[in-house]
C-alpha cells in the first residue's frame, strides 16, 4: 500500500547526531563563525552532505538586519533584459547573495517593482535599462546601493554599467559603408534607454564618412510592431539601401514588413540590428547585429552591488563601467547592388 506521508525534512539536529557533535557546533559551522576546529568542520560538512542537508538561510537571517539579497528590476518583455538576468544568476552563485526579481510591464511600472523589492529588505538594487527619471533613481540611491545597467547616467550616487552604445552604432554604420552603402537610415528607439547614444553614434559615423547629407532617421522603438511601422514609412518614400535599427526586435519587424512587400534582403536592403538577442540568431532571421556582452555587464553590476553592501562607507567613489560591443555579421547585410 502506497504511503502518502512525505519524508521528514533533515534538521540540524540530525546532522549533529550523524557527526557526533552538539547542535550548537553544527550551527557554528554553518554560520561560518569561530568556535569549531577544522576537523569538526569537516566532519559536520561530510555529515550534512551524506544527509543532503541544506541550511535554511532565510531562517538564519530573520534575527539579523541582513537579507543577503540583491533586487533586480527588469523589463518583463525585454529579451535582452532577460539575458542579463540569466547572467546575474550565474554571477551570484559564488557570492553568497540571492536575487529577488521585480518585473516591470505595461500594467506594472518600475516604481511598483522597486517598492516590492524594498519590501523584501533587499540590500542593493540593480536596475536594468530603467526609464525612471534620474531624480527618482538618485533618491533611491540615497537609501541603498543602486547599480544602473544599460543606461548612460551622469550621477555621483549610483554606479553605472553600460555598453558603449555610441561605438556600437558607429561600427554598424562603418560595416555598411564598407560594403559600399551610402544611403543608410537609422530607425531609432525614441526615448528608450540607449536610444540617444545610438542616434549620436549613427550621426557621428555618417559625418566622419562624409555622408552627413545622406543621414536620415525614422521613428522606431523596442518591438516588432515599431519596426513594421518604420518599414511602412520607408516604403512610402525613396527606399535606402541600408538600415540600422535600434534593436533586434525592431529590425525583425522591419525585415518581415519589407519582405512582405517584395523587397529582397540583403539584395535590395541591408539591415543591422542591435543586442544579438535570440531572435537575431534564428535561421529564418540571421540578422547582422551589434552584440552586447550580457555576461560581462551582469558580472560587473553584481560585483559593484555586493561591494557597496560589504564595504559600506569605505567603498570607493561611484563608478561607471563601459563595456565595448562587437559586430556579429550574418545574412542581412551584403554589398550594395
Query: 3-class DSSP state for residue 125?
Result: strand
State residue 28's pLDDT score.
Answer: 77
Between residues 271 and 58, which one has the greater pLDDT?
271
Q: Say which residue, 44 or 289, is predicted with more confidence.
A: 289
Interacting residues of 16 by C-beta distance below 8 A, sequence separation 6+: 22, 23, 25, 26, 44
How high is the mean pLDDT of the chain? 91
Q: Taking a C-beta distance cutoff of 8 angstroms, is the pair 225, 247 a contact?
A: no
- For the chain, where are the alpha helices, taking DSSP H only? 12-19, 23-31, 38-51, 57-62, 79-92, 110-119, 134-141, 165-178, 195-208, 224-236, 248-260, 278-281, 294-311
Q: Is 160 exposed, middle or buried (0-12, 13-18, 19+ CB in 10 A)?
A: buried
At 205, the pLDDT band (50, 70, 90 cuts) reads very high
Name the residue with higher pLDDT: 33 or 111: 111
Question: Is residue 147 predicted with pLDDT exceeding 80?
Answer: yes
Look at residue 63 in the predicted model and tell me its pLDDT.
45
Q: What is the CA radius of gyration of the chain?
A: 25
6 pLDDT above the threshold of 60 = no
Q: Is the pLDDT of residue 56 over 70?
A: no
Q: Are 130 and 148 in contact (CB under 8 A)?
A: yes
Could you tell me what percent of the chain has a pLDDT over 70? 92
pLDDT > 90: percent of the chain: 75
Closest CA to 16 of 30, 5, 34, 1: 30
The per-residue pLDDT for 57 is: 53
Q: What is the mean pLDDT of residues 171-187?
A: 98
Mean pLDDT of 126-150: 96
Task: Reply yes or no: is the peptide bond before residue 237 cis, omega within 30 of 0.
Answer: no
Question: How sure is the predictor about 61, in pLDDT bands with cuts at 50, 70 and 90?
Answer: very low
Query: Whole-model pTM?
Result: 0.79
- Between β-strands 288-291 and 270-275, what pairing exists: parallel, antiparallel or unpaired? parallel
Amino acid at each position: 500500500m502506497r504511503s502518502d506521508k512525505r519524508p521528514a525534512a533533515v534538521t540540524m539536529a540530525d546532522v549533529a547526531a550523524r557527526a557526533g557533535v552538539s547542535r550548537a557546533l553544527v550551527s557554528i559551522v554553518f554560520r561560518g563563525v569561530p568556535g569549531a576546529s577544522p576537523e569538526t568542520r569537516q566532519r559536520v560538512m561530510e555529515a550534512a552532505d551524506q544527509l543532503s542537508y541544506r541550511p535554511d538561510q532565510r531562517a538564519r537571517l530573520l534575527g539579523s538586519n541582513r537579507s543577503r539579497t540583491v533586487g533586480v528590476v527588469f523589463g518583463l518583455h525585454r529579451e535582452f533584459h532577460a539575458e542579463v538576468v540569466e547572467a546575474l544568476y550565474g554571477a551570484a552563485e559564488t557570492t553568497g547573495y540571492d536575487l529577488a526579481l521585480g518585473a516591470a510591464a505595461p500594467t506594472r511600472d518600475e516604481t511598483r517593482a522597486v517598492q516590492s523589492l524594498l519590501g523584501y529588505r533587499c540590500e542593493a538594487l540593480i536596475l536594468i535599462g530603467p526609464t525612471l527619471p534620474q531624480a527618482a533613481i538618485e533618491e533611491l540611491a540615497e537609501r541603498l546601493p543602486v547599480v544602473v545597467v544599460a543606461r548612460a547616467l551622469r550621477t555621483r550616487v549610483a554606479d553605472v554599467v553600460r555598453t558603449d552604445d555610441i561605438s556600437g552604432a558607429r561600427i554598424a554604420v562603418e560595416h555598411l559603408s564598407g560594403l559600399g552603402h551610402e544611403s543608410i537610415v537609422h530607425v531609432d528607439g525614441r526615448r528608450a534607454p540607449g536610444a540617444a547614444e545610438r542616434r549620436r553614434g549613427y550621426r557621428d559615423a555618417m559625418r566622419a564618412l562624409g555622408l552627413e547629407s545622406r543621414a536620415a532617421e525614422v521613428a522606431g522603438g523596442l518591438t516588432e510592431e515599431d519596426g513594421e511601422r518604420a518599414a511602412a514609412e520607408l516604403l512610402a518614400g525613396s527606399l535606402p539601401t541600408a538600415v540600422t535599427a535600434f534593436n533586434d526586435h525592431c529590425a525583425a519587424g522591419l525585415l518581415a514588413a519589407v519582405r512582405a512587400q517584395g523587397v529582397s534582403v540583403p539584395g535590395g536592403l541591408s539591415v543591422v540590428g542591435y543586442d544579438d538577442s535570440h531572435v537575431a540568431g534564428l535561421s529564418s532571421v540571421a540578422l547582422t547585429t551589434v552584440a552586447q556582452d550580457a555576461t560581462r555587464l551582469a558580472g560587473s553590476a553584481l560585483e559593484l552591488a555586493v561591494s557597496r553592501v560589504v564595504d559600506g562607507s569605505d567603498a570607493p567613489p561611484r563608478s561607471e563601467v563601459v563595456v565595448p560591443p562587437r559586430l556579429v555579421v550574418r545574412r542581412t547585410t551584403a554589398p550594395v547592388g
